[in-house]
Amino acid sequence: MAELRNEIIEGSKARFEFLKWKLIGVSALGAAGLGLGGSSTAAGRSACGADRIGWAYLMLTLIPLVCFYVDLLCRHMALRIGVIGNFLRISATGDEAFYERFVDRARRMGRGEVSVFGFEDLALLGSTVVLSLLVALVGVGLAQVGAFGSGELTLWGVPVPSTNLQWIFVGSGALGAGLTWMNRRDYLRRSQMLKDLADDAALMATLRPKAEESPPAIPGAS
């Protein structure tokens, strides 16, 4: 049991590390995209006397995907911790079992089954949705001020006019928000399935000793 408890602790530490790297990744991409994009556009105008596409701005479109990837890992780790916690709730004894049962009730408080740990999930979902919307708005704003120039950019062999680059930002933002919402819905579904599985296992664990103490009578046996 001690090894499982340590694994829960290590899993919680890993989740905090993922959240830290989410902030670092978003900050790095934002600084690189806005910094390099602005400098490349300015350099192009000064050197050529004409608008030049700030291709580095496209680095901003990676922010929603990075957020989704980190959220996916965090929720996977949460499910892994939940599996261990539910197992301890069923099989542990003493204060350890009482604590796990208390935590389980804390995750399903009141009529609406409100979780005391809900703020972490809100932070994951909210930050990704907000950042995805900001990426979409930044792309539209850059297009309005002419930051993309008047030429075209070749993406995977396909020429894209600079006037259409804003739709890449909008698509990236919509994709990031949509994926993280679907991921959260699937996470909640899997969490509920895990709780149902643990409740069934706990019920079987309580019925098993009674069945062993009083085996059913066999009809016709003398």
Round to whole Å and give the CA distance between 105 and 109: 6
Q: What is the pLDDT of residue 51?
A: 41
**DSSP for residue 215:** P
How do residues 62-90 score in pLDDT, each as one tens digit? 999 999 999 999 999 988 888 888 888 77
Domain boundaries, the chain: 2-205
* 39-48, 79-88, 101-110, 185-194: segment of lowest average pLDDT: 39-48
Give every CB contact of residue 147 below 8 A, 6+ residues apart in sequence.
37, 38, 41, 54, 57
- The predicted model scores a pTM of 0.75
